[in-house]
Amino acid sequence: MASDEKKAEILKGLHDSVVEYEEEKTVEVANEAVAEGLDAFEAIMGGLAKGMETVGDLYVRQEYFVPELLLCADALYAGLEVLKPHLKAESHAEPRKIILGVVEGDIHDIGKNLVKVMFDAAGWQVFDLGADVKIERFAEEQKKCGAQVVGLSALMTTSMLAIPRIIKTLRDSDSTVRVLVGGAPLNPDIAASYGADGYADNAGEAVEQAMKMLQQA
């Protein structure tokens, strides 16, 4: 078992290597965490995910941009790959599930990809349907995987008109599913008028919003 000091050092190492987008270093520290017998869940949440949270803040403050974020995400995923197989049964008993996709007619997928990273970092199981996703597919996939939340991204005023239609098909098929929406032309008012349960302005807030929605459910 690692000493408290060693543990703190490893968590900081995971945090920093994600923030500094050093993929190899992240893998190295993740392996060290395993070797030192650190709880994998703690290493993920207290190290990698914390790092991604810092990255989210740096993005909002315009110190980091999409290129930096993508590389931080690469480091995060590399670390997750090492740590996930070591998760104890109870800590990944029932991961929360979310379906993500960019709506039909829209290929702007950078934002959705960043949202996905945040949910991955927060330990959710993410079903990513990609971009230009046909209306019916969301409900079909939701039925298959039983996701509690569906996240819809639209970056254009034309494509966002698909959102209320998707929400209707989702509600028709499962009245308990929660819908989270985001993307540049949307705002809380439009989201509400489309019948969504939540809206988030950026990837950092997305997970928080999803958690809130589930608590209200």
Partner 1 sequence: MGIGNDRVSMLLKGERVDMVPVFPLGIRAFAALGVGYTMGEAYSDGEKSCRAELWAQEQYGFDGFPNFAYGPFGAWEFGGEIKFPEGEFQQAPMAVRYPVISEEDVWTLRVPDDISTAGAIPIGMAHSLTAAAAGATVMTPNAGVFTTAGNLCSVQKLARWMIKKPSLAHRMLELSRDFLIGMVQLWVDTFGKDILMYNAEPSAANQVISARHFEEFVLPYSIEVHSAALRMGIKHIMTHICGDQNLNLDHWTKIPMGDPGLLTFGHEVDLHTAIEKLGESSVIMGNVEPSLIQNGHPNDLYDACRAAIKAGKGAPRGFVLMSGCGFPPKTPPYNFFTMVKAARELGKL
Using CB under 6 A, pick the residue from 40, 43, 191, 200 that binds ligand B12: 200
Q: Encode burial over 187-199: b for 16+ CB neighbours within 10 A, e otherwise.
A: eeebbeebebbbb
CA angle 153, 154, 156 (to 5 degrees): 165
**Interaction residues for partner 1, span 61-90 (CB under 8 A):** 62, 65-68, 70-71, 74
155 binds ligand B12 (CB under 6 A): yes
3-state secondary structure of 99: strand
Sign (positive or negative) of CA dihedral 65, 189, 96, 167: negative
174 binds partner 1 (CB under 8 A): no
**Interaction residues for ligand B12, span 21-60 (CB under 6 A):** none
100 CB-side CA count, 13 A:
26
Segment contacting ligand B12 (CB under 6 A): 15-23, 46-54, 79-87, 109-117? Answer: 109-117
Q: Which residues bind partner 1 (CB under 8 A)?
A: 21, 62, 65-68, 70-71, 74, 103-107, 110, 113, 132, 156-159, 161-162, 184-185, 190
Q: Which residues bind ligand B12 (CB under 6 A)?
A: 66, 106-112, 114-115, 151-153, 155-157, 180-185, 200, 202-203, 206
